[in-house]
Amino acid sequence: MGLKNALWVLSAGMIGAGLVAAPTLAQAQYAYTGTSMFGSYEVGHDGAGEEASGDFTAEMDLENGKMCYMLEISGLEGFTAAHIHKAEKGQNGPPVVTLELASDDKCIDVDVELMKDIAKNEHKYYVNVHTEAFPQGAIRGQLDMS
């Protein structure tokens, strides 16, 4: 048996035995996250009423520092800002990424290490939308794609 055939047989045997690992998050180039947002999810103040809602989905390129996302809201007027904040459910935290309304893909540069942390610990981050009527936040949703 030639060297080429021997290497092929060895590789096939390793795959069959489960010795070749699947990519982990640390090795993956892309990660995904998202949330649905509602006024009742705001913390420490009243959010918008039941008629207001929003959806956020994002694809994060963990090697090149690009986040492509869609952020859609309904039942709200006077949009002023939107952010990803770092805080667990039931807590408020500082904004770490500034977002724009985007019903089509919007791509922004985001620090690679921050995106890796969001991908690994998405439950420790939330998205909220601010309006003129709700400057502290109109709707909120904790990131969770699991």
pTM: 0.79
Give the separation between CA 31 and CA 130, rounded to whole angstroms.
26
Q: How do residues 65-110 score in pLDDT, each as one tens digit? A: 999 999 999 999 999 999 999 999 999 999 999 998 877 889 999 9
Q: In what order do the strands lie in the sheet with 139-142?
A: 95-99, 79-86, 125-131, 139-142, 30-38, 53-61, 66-74, 102-109
CA distance 124 to 130: 20
> What is the Cα–Cα distance from 56 to 53, expressed in whole angstroms?
10
| DSSP annotation string for 38-59 | EGGG-SSS----TT-EEEEEEE
